[in-house]
Structure 1
Amino acid sequence: MDSVNRGRHSSSAFAAEDDEWYPKQESTPRPAGPHRAVRKRDYLLRFSKAFMGFLGAVLLWYTAVLTRPGQILDAFTMEAAGVWDGQLWGVDEVVLFLVSTKMIVIVAILVVIITFWRQRWELGLRALAVMLLTIGVVQLLKRYVFWRPAFGVTYALPNSYPSGHTAAAAAVSVAAVMVVARRWRSFTAFLGAIWVSTVGTATVINAWHRPSDVLGAVMIAGAFGLLFTPLEASRGRTWGDLRMQHFLGVVGWAFFILGLVSSVLVAMMIWNQFGFSGSEVLVAQIFRQAHAGGAVVHLAHLAGLSLILGLVSLVLRSVDKLVQ
């Protein structure tokens, strides 16, 4: 028995030595340091941008639709762009014809095919959700939530804010940026910026929508894109892809700031002419001045186009940047 007890004590001693020399490998918790902080910061930035998109759409509606100066500037910019109607060899009409229910269905099918090929079903569902929510919410806001008071600035027309055509084009572009391979995201965002800007500008030239309608639709599409696009870390971004992303940022901010400055200058120039006019002559005055040419008309062209191109580029770039 003593030998057995000695054996047991010795074995326990060796076990103690083993435990001392080879400690148990306990599962260490994930570090709560830089990695966690960066992820929380990324999510906070993402949702903050989405909130700013929705808030910006509401503030733009209040400024451009619910105030008399906003309606004057918006209407004048649209009438000034109408000078190009019929001078673009029908390109603008073809672009507007392409934005239809058939196009949305075709893009939805392409999204399903791409996500099936990449085996990213969840990403495909997110992209489809962005398309459906953007188009549905824009129609809901335009028909049942937002309204347009009659200040005598234009003829009595129902509310057109935000633009349904631009919303469809922007939603399709955001969905495309979401589902393509990572090395093609920035190039897809670049093509999407050209496409959405062309559609938005065509609606203004053909007097389907005012510039504010286009900008509001782009902000709503971008907000849904930021909400549903997943945050991903990737090594698949190529040098050329990242350079394109940087280019979109530079172009976007440059045109957006140029558009803001031009809009302020146009507002200052036309306020002296239209600010105190009676509602019965204001519509005719705006139309006559917008089609008379001159520096203020060219500046209005620059303001509208720059704001649309700048905002679209920044919105699509923000969705693209969610994959680092």
Structure 2
Amino acid sequence: MSETASRRVGAFAGAVVAFALLAGTFGVFVRSYPGQASDEQTMQSWAAHFGSDVPTSGWLGDHQLAVLGGIGVVLAIVCAVRRSPRLAGHATILVLGAVAIAVFLKTGLQRPALGVGSLTNSFPSNTVAAFAAAAFGLIAVSPERLRRVVAVASLAGAAVVSVAVVGLQWHRPSDVIGGWLVAVAAAFAAECVLPVRGRSVRHLRR
């Protein structure tokens, strides 16, 4: 088996594992009473530190679309400067795929009425999925010499968003975990479809 084929098989397996963990998270924290209760309690405790008694828009609510749009522009510029349709395609599959999956699941899944919190399903967080996928996209398209710095900055930003959506009572912790797993699955899927790692795509590393 060639290196590219082997990496694609590995990436596909990674996506399958991420989706399995996503299903397990939903089953434990959304489908069961103990899971819902602990999830809700954690959110309420976290929100108390933010001073949020009810769901609050906050700075993130007013600016998240602008920030995501800016990240999209940065991704496009980097891919254009590096003259790489492969990187552009990889980033597009990753980010749009993560957002589409998160929105589909969030609107399609049902939250059982177990007497805990709102009945409206909020799993997984499409906001977290979008920011995490954007972070993975920035890491994927960045030159190798800058990748470590980009990884630290972009993942830290996504982590801040993850904390904020719980503190503002937009999402429970399991929703955040679900959003990250969606982004991880999309990253593996993008690497399966359009690999940007390995010796076969060495020219992309510069």
TM-score range, shorter chain: 0.7 to 0.9
- Give CA-to-partner distance per residue, 1:247-298, whole Å, 9 cap, x none: xxxxxxxxxxxxxxxxxxxxxxxxxxxxxxxxxxxxxxxxxxxxxxxxxxxx
**8 Å CA contact 1:54, 1:219 repeated in 2:** yes
Does residue 98 (structure 1) correspond to residue 60 (structure 2)? The answer is no
Matched to 1:129, the amino acid is: I
Partner of 1:115: 79
2:26 aligned residue: 61
C-alpha spacing 1:208/1:71, structure 2 compared with 1 (3 Å): same
Cα distance change, pair 96–201 in 1 and its aligned pair in 2 (3 A): farther
| Cα shift readout 1:83-119 (whole Å, capped 9, x = no counterpart) | 21139xxxx933443321x333322222121111111
> Identity of paired residues, percent?
26
Asked if 1:47 corresponds to 2:9, the answer is no
Off by >4 Å, runs of 4+ in structure 1:
38-41
Mapped to 1, the partners of 2:202 and 2:88 lie a distance apart of 21
- Out of 31, 35, 44, the position equivalent to 1:70 is 35
Aligned to 2:158: 196
Alignment partner of 1:176 out of 111, 128, 138: 138
Contact 2:112 2:119 in 1 (8 A): no
> TM-score under structure 1 normalisation?
0.56
Q: Which amino acid aligns with 1:62?
A: G
- Where in structure 1 are there 5+ consecutive unaligned residues? 1-31, 237-322
Partners of 1:130 and 1:235 in 2: how far apart? 20
Q: Contact 1:99–1:168 at 8 Å: present in 2 too? A: no
Q: CA contact under 8 A between 2:105 and 2:124: conserved in structure 1?
A: yes
TM-score, normalised with respect to structure 2:
0.85
The alignment status of 1:163 with 2:125, answered yes or no, reads: yes
Deviation, 1:54, is 1.3
**2:198 counterpart of 1:232:** yes
**Could you tell me which of 92, 98, 116 is aligned with 1:153?**
116
> Which has the higher Rg, Structure 1 or Structure 2?
1
Query: What is the rounded CA distance, in whole Å, between the counterparts of 1:189 and 1:47 in structure 2?
Result: 22
CA displacement, residues 115-136 of structure 1 (integer Å, 9 cap, x when unaligned): 1111111211220221111111
User: Does the aligned pair in 2 maintain the 1:99–1:169 contact within 8 Å?
Assistant: no
The match for 1:80 is: 45
Deviations 1:199-253 (A, max 9, x none): 01111111110000001011111111122132323889xxxxxxxxxxxxxxxxx
Q: Superposition RMSD on alpha carbons, in Å?
A: 2.3
CA distance in 2, matches of 1:150, 1:78: 18
* CA deviation string 1:140-197 (max 9, x = no partner): 11112x110111122x431000112111211211111111111222221211221111
Provide the rounded CA distance (Å) in 1 between the counterparts of 2:189 and 2:23: 18
Q: 1 or 2 for the larger relative contact order (CA 8 Å, sep ≥6)? A: 2
- Contact 1:96–1:202 (Cα < 8 Å) also in 2: no
Deviation, structure 1 residue 40: 5.1
Q: Aligned to 2:157, what secondary structure does the other structure show?
A: helix
For 1:186, which of 144, 148, 152 is the aligned residue?
148
Decide whether the 8 Å contact of 2:4 with 2:198 is kept in 1: no
Letter in 2 for 1:213: D
Task: Pick one of 123, 135, 139 that aligns with 2:103.
Answer: 139
- Equivalence map 1:273-312=2 (5 Å): none
